[in-house]
């Protein structure tokens, strides 16, 4: 019995490892964040393994049932819609519960959106802090005040309809001259990275409303 954490492509379907395909074909069950989205990937690679829905809205209800399936001897793979499960996606709860029940967990290396965004930002990447999504309301200001003093490069995830608000917040709390890099649609046809000061990047996206998944990389505070 084993739980496999399997990264899936963040855009380009070719960004999956041979090992990931082999695991997805060999396990008894695949837990998918959205079975419709994952169904396209599985069809592309002729993977016929049964899928079961496992997402943030049902994971607390289904986790014990999955543990029982694992204890019965099944091998199960966990995937998200894109990237590595548990990185701003469901996965932590199940992984922790498996560890508590002494069930073997193996995470395969693979696609994660923030790594290429960090590397191609041109900002220091020897030390960085991954923040994921900022709080929407409660705690947002407090978090921004803390991050404004962070000396390491900061990585954020953001949705297109909230990007202007987040860039405006960074401009306000970090200063409009702070260096920033915004990557969107990574690995897809219209991949784009805009670099410069927060002020300049904010002006660009105010004039050109963004689409797609977005990673924001912000330089740390200078000493």
Last residue of a domain, one of 107, 126, 147: 107
Is 127 in the same domain as 213? yes
**pLDDT score at 154:** 98
Rounded Cα distance, 41 and 22, in Å: 13
Same domain membership, residue 134 and residue 67: no
CA distance 157 to 131: 8
* Both structure tokens of 5: 């954490």
**Residue 34 predicted with pLDDT over 90:** yes
Work out the average pLDDT over 89-98.
Answer: 94
Q: How many CB atoms lie within 10 A of CB 128?
A: 19
How many domains does the chain divide into? 2
pLDDT of residue 59: 84
Domain boundary among 87, 107, 127: 107
pTM across the whole model: 0.92
Q: Which domain holds residue 92?
A: 2-107
Flag whether pLDDT at 86 surpasses 90: yes
Closest CA to 155 of 121, 132, 185: 132
CATH number of 174's domain: 3.30.950.10
Q: Indicate if the pLDDT at residue 56 is higher than 90.
A: no
Is the domain of 147 the same as that of 81? Answer: no
**Spacing of C-alpha 101 from chain mean position:** 26
Identify the residue whose tokens are 């963040």: 10
The CATH code of the domain that includes 98 is: 3.40.1010.10
CA end-to-end span of the chain, whole Å?
50
Instruction: Please tell me the distance from the alpha carbon of residue 204 to that of residue 160, in angstroms, as a whole number.
Output: 13
- Rounded Cα distance, 53 and 78, in Å: 10
DSSP 8-class letter at 169: H
Single out the residue in 70, 86, 107 at which a domain terminates: 107
Which one has a higher pLDDT value, 56 or 159?
Answer: 159
DSSP β-ladder status, 192-197 and 214-218: unpaired
Asked whether residue 166 falls in the same domain as residue 136, the answer is yes
């Amino acid at each position: 019995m084993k739980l496999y954490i399997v990264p899936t492509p963040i855009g380009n379907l070719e960004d999956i490892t041979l090992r990931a395909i082999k695991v997805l074909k060999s396990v008894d069950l695949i837990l998918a964040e959205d079975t419709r989205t994952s169904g396209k990937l599985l069809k592309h690679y002729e993977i016929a393994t049964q899928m079961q829905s496992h997402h943030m809205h049902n994971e607390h209800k289904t986790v014990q049932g999955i543990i029982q399936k694992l204890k019965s001897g099944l091998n199960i793979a966990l995937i998200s819609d894109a990237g590595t499960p548990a990185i701003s996606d469901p996965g932590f709860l199940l992984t922790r519960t498996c560890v508590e029940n002494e069930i073997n967990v193996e995470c395969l290396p693979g696609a994660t959106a923030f790594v290429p965004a960090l590397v191609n930002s041109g900002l220091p990447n020897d030390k960085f802090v991954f923040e994921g999504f900022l709080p929407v309301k409660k705690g947002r200001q407090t978090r921004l005040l803390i991050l404004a003093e962070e000396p390491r490069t900061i990585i954020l995830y953001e949705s297109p309809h909230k990007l202007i608000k987040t860039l405006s917040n960074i401009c306000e709390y970090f200063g409009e001259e702070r260096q920033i890099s915004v990557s969107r649609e990574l690995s897809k046809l219209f991949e784009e990275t805009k670099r410069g000061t927060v002020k300049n990047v904010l002006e660009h996206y105010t004039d050109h409303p963004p689409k797609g998944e977005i990673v924001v990389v912000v330089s740390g505070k200078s000493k």
